[in-house]
Structure 1
């Protein structure tokens, strides 16, 4: 019966789609910071300073997002981005909105995307890039049975 093989192929495909679409959406946060596309994060005041916390976040989002789309260094990059999103949630969404009373209510502090990115990246740091990642060119994964 070929069911387990089909199931593994579907898992690999869904993992690739999750990795690529998450990275694509994540890159848009960087392009919003640097190029004001698809929207401005500075209310039309131009791009953010490169040598600032927001600039560092933008660089991580852009470079990390591109690496994740390609499937290069997925585990370490995803781990770093997961930490970045945890910091963004705690110090920008929770602390600057209503304080620590909103820690467990990300909808109230507009931090739901940061929470989702954090845990998706944490998952990718454990699961890896899957069968459709460029990491496999260096270290091929054995065929699942």
Structure 2
């Protein structure tokens, strides 16, 4: 038996996908901004990560830049893969050593972000993404330049 959602739900797919991308990217960027600039509570409750410190500072840069790129829908798939890999690394290098399961080792956000970004990388940006708008503009420009010039 195959379940097919109602037409109205299928029509909402690109919008829901875009909202998921936007919210996930925004939340991820907030983590990076907190760690880099001490805003929104700072790095784990206060302060910032020391510049160029491995891996904390680099992870924060990935969170901020990658999160913004995903939220905007700019090079979405590439940015999402980098963000997903960053969270997989964070889970296995920081959290898993404390306990086996994410609920016990504090790694739930890392796991959730990892899989969310992997989903975004697989599905693409959805509607209202900068890269989609750029492709449409490029296609329209190419179509306009290919059209024969009319004489007035």
User: Do these two structures clear the TM 0.5 threshold for a shared fold by scoring above it?
Assistant: yes
Higher relative contact order (CA 8 A, sep 6+): 1
Runs of at least 5 residues in structure 2 that lack an aligned partner in the other structure: 1-5, 137-152
Match of 1:139 among 125, 135, 139: 135
Structure 1 residues without counterparts, runs of 5 or longer: 141-145
What SS is found at the alignment partner of 2:49? coil
Is the 8 Å Cα contact of residues 29 and 61 (structure 1) preserved in structure 2? Answer: yes
Give the drift of 1:12.
0.8
Secondary structure of residue in 2 paired with 1:108 = helix
Quote how far apart the aligned CAs of 1:50 are: 2.2
Residue-pair matches, total: 130
Q: CA RMSD in A?
A: 1.6
Greater Rg, structure 1 or structure 2? 2
Query: Taking structure 1 as the reference length, what is the TM-score of the superposition?
Result: 0.82
**Cα shift at 1:25:** 1.0
- 4+ residue runs of structure 1 moved beyond 4 angstroms? none
- The Cα shift of 1:29 comes to 1.1
CA distance in 1, matches of 2:57, 2:11: 39
